[in-house]
Amino acid sequence: MMKIAYKAIFIRQFDDLPIDLQSEVLEKIGLLKIAQNHQQLKVHKLHGSLQDRYSFSVNYKIRIVFRYLSKNEIVLLVIGDHDIYR
């Protein structure tokens, strides 16, 4: 089971989301805790200036960027649309 930490900016961005989207995000974070679900979430390594980070899809529009702190620990960095990659 993956441990998940949250950056303060992630929490602020999450709090600004509509309630129904917050529920969807929490569901996907629950799936992220179980490594077998990474393919379903479309987890992928980022490139360029974000090369040490990963991303997964909440839905068609919303993504979460994270990085591994260890083999069993992740920190969620930011949440938003594709502009978070800039």
CB atoms within 10 A of CB 56: 20
Task: Walk along the chain (86 residues) and give the pLDDT tens digit of each residue.
Answer: 899 999 999 999 999 999 999 999 999 999 999 877 778 898 999 999 999 999 999 998 999 999 999 989 999 999 999 788 77
Q: How many residues does the chain have?
A: 86
Could you tell me the CATH superfamily of domain 3-85?
A: RelE-like (3.30.2310.20)
- pLDDT score, position 39: 82
CA 40 to chain centre: 13
At residue 9's C-alpha, the angle toward residues 8 and 15, to 5°, is 90
What does pTM read for this prediction? Answer: 0.92
